Structure 1
Amino acid sequence: MPYALRPAGLTDAPAITELLNEVDRIEIGRPETDLHTVEADLKHPEIVLDRDSWLAFDGDRLVAYGLLWDESAGERVDVDHYVLPDHQPAGELILDALQDRALEKARENGAARAVVHLHLNTEPTLDTELIERRGWHVVRRYHVLQRPLDGAADLVPELPNGIRLRPCAEETDRARVHALYQSSFAEHFDFQPRSYAQWLHDVDAEVLDWSLVWIVGTEESGDAGFLIARDDREAMGWIRSIGVLSEARGCGLGGLLLRHAFAAFAARGRDTVGLGVDTANPTGAPALYARHGMAVHYAVDTWETVLS
């Protein structure tokens, strides 16, 4: 029986979450996708669901899912793709739709080509021969790291002389975190500049617990770094992003932010904390995380294709 293909809607979020958790169980051994994360993706302001999302069904069963969004307003387009191992033809249908729409989107932006990125587990449920035949290749590797927490050992660190750390309590603090993010991440692979309004959506500001966002700096130089954490993942506490301005690196600010986050999660009763890192990060972040006891949970590759 042929697969039925249609766009996703917000009411499909529970079924999509179930599919992604089935993929999680195969790829990493346990479910780690939360419903609110899927809902946030489907509500992304730069996604038109009727044109930028696809569901493939085998009868009544959802077996594959694709989503496309554009943060560059140019040639760069991002896509997500999930498929169950025994339904590769459904995955191919969605791959074809993703590629066609990516090129269309880039041309709508005035670009002559589309540079498309897709993140896949290094041992994915998708048969990678299907994308290699279409000209995709790996351009980057990321590690998802995790660390156990101990409420008796992971205590709030003392601040060194001249160092100050504060929670993100006011609207002006949020704007400051956005500015620090834009500056500290500007040199990172695949960075896309984001306006304050766009960034607020990216961090899901309406439901984000801003007490888990901190700004660090020095009395002499002012604000120099930030950390955004989330406590709404069932699997573990999560550090969404951490950044320190280039001129302030090497002074221990990143490590201080990490230890502060560890203590906050431990005090909430969490037993594990995680984050993601580019293995080729030019700031030395992987070594920093290793020194603070974080180890690889699983690895993700960024695949790229250029369409014209």
Structure 2
Amino acid sequence: MPYVVRPADLADAPAITELLNAVDLIEIGRPETDLHTVEAELKHPEIDLSQDSWLAFHEGRLVAYGLVWEESGGERVDADHYVLPDHQEAGQQLFAAMEARALAKARENGAARAVVHLHLNVAPTLDTSLIQARGWSVVRRYHVLHRPVDPAEDRAPQVPPGVRLRACADEADRRRAHALNQATFAEHFDFQPRTYEQWLHDIGAERIDWSLVWIVSTEDQGDVGFLLARDDREAMGWVRGIGVLREARALGLGGLLLRHAFAAFAARGRDTVGLGVDTGNTTGAPGLYARHGMTVHYAVDTWETVLG
């Protein structure tokens, strides 16, 4: 089939959102991509859309979308790729362009190779045999979890003596939440350090309701954990990040933060809360979420290729 391929721009956000929701419908049974999420991706300060994005059209319809970006300052490069099932050829055209650009970006950083990661649903619209032939393989699995919430059952938990739970009320608290995010996620697979300003962009700070971002502290240790939630997804309330410092992980603070978030979303009229977790996480997070009633909504694999 003949395809027209060109870079994306911000005006393409509605068409990209429509494509991603068509993919969602096939992969997870319902559309869950919001326009503002796509717009934020296209506005990423470390992306030059003229070189780092690709749209493939067939007879005027958008059928594939690709994006690459780099946050490591070295060899690690990230990619997004979406394609409709009947247009695998377009998907492969985008892969060739994405791989070439990823290697160029890594070499611009002085790296000899590019290590590229791509997240795909475990049953994607992409024919994964085609990228296996290109040298891609699965290196990690993530679960998107969800849980129903109800205002009659999910009430704000009692905070134990010696523990304080506060919302991010000012700039100092926001910077503290960033520091806790960086410290608690530093051990995680594929972690990339981010400055405060970069983190603000990553979380879409212009849309964040900071009353849904909490810091937990103890009398003995001070601030030891955080939870960042957001209520701007149509599909469900979302926990964007939760972490407790290693030295405070046996105090039940992760569960306290989680129950507090459930209660807050239930009080706002939400009926479902979701989050993502690395199945290889060694901090005990998967078990924590299971104990609090969260179940698998769908699974995502991290695919990797090494170019150079």
Structure 1 match to 2:95: 95
Q: CA deviation at 1:59?
A: 1.3
Share of identical aligned residues, percent? 77
Q: Secondary structure at the match of 1:18?
A: helix
**Matched AA of 2:285:** A
Runs of 4+ in 1 over 6 A off after TM superposition: none
**Matched AA of 2:67:** L
Task: Structure 1: give runs of 5+ residues left out of the alignment.
Answer: none
Q: CA deviation at 1:250?
A: 1.5
Q: CA deviation at 1:198?
A: 0.6
Q: Secondary structure at the match of 1:277?
A: strand
Structure 2 match to 1:260: 260
* 1:197 maps to 2:162: no
**Matched AA of 1:151:** P
Map 1:199-218 → 2, pairs under 5 A: 199-218=199-218
* 1:148 maps to 2:156: no
How far apart are the structure 2 equivalents of 1:186 and 1:78? Answer: 18
After superposition, give the CA deviation of every residue in 1:112-146 in whole Å (9 maximum; x if it has no partner): 00000000000000000111001000000000000
Structure 1 match to 2:236: 236
* 1:220 maps to 2:214: no
Q: CA deviation at 1:220?
A: 1.3
How far apart are the structure 2 equivalents of 1:279 and 1:131? Answer: 23
Q: Secondary structure at the match of 1:87?
A: helix
Q: CA deviation at 1:186?
A: 0.4
How far apart are the structure 2 equivalents of 1:116 and 1:73? Answer: 13
How far apart are the structure 1 equivalents of 2:95 and 2:169? Answer: 43
After superposition, give the CA deviation of every residue in 1:183-221 in whole Å (9 maximum; x if it has no partner): 100000000001111111111111111110000010111
TM-score computed with the length of structure 2 as normaliser: 0.99
- CA root-mean-square deviation: 0.5
Task: Structure 2: give runs of 5+ residues left out of the alignment.
Answer: none
Q: Secondary structure at the match of 2:101?
A: helix
Map 1:1-308 → 2, pairs under 5 A: 1-308=1-308
How far apart are the structure 1 equivalents of 2:46 and 2:169? Answer: 28
Q: Secondary structure at the match of 1:20?
A: helix
Q: Secondary structure at the match of 2:120?
A: strand
How far apart are the structure 2 equivalents of 1:241 and 1:84? Answer: 30
Q: Secondary structure at the match of 1:68?
A: strand
How far apart are the structure 1 equivalents of 2:203 and 2:86? Answer: 34
How far apart are the structure 2 equivalents of 1:207 and 1:140? Answer: 30
Q: Secondary structure at the match of 1:57?
A: strand
After superposition, give the CA deviation of every residue in 1:40-93 in whole Å (9 maximum; x if it has no partner): 000000000000000000011000000111000100000000000000000001
Q: CA deviation at 1:303?
A: 0.2
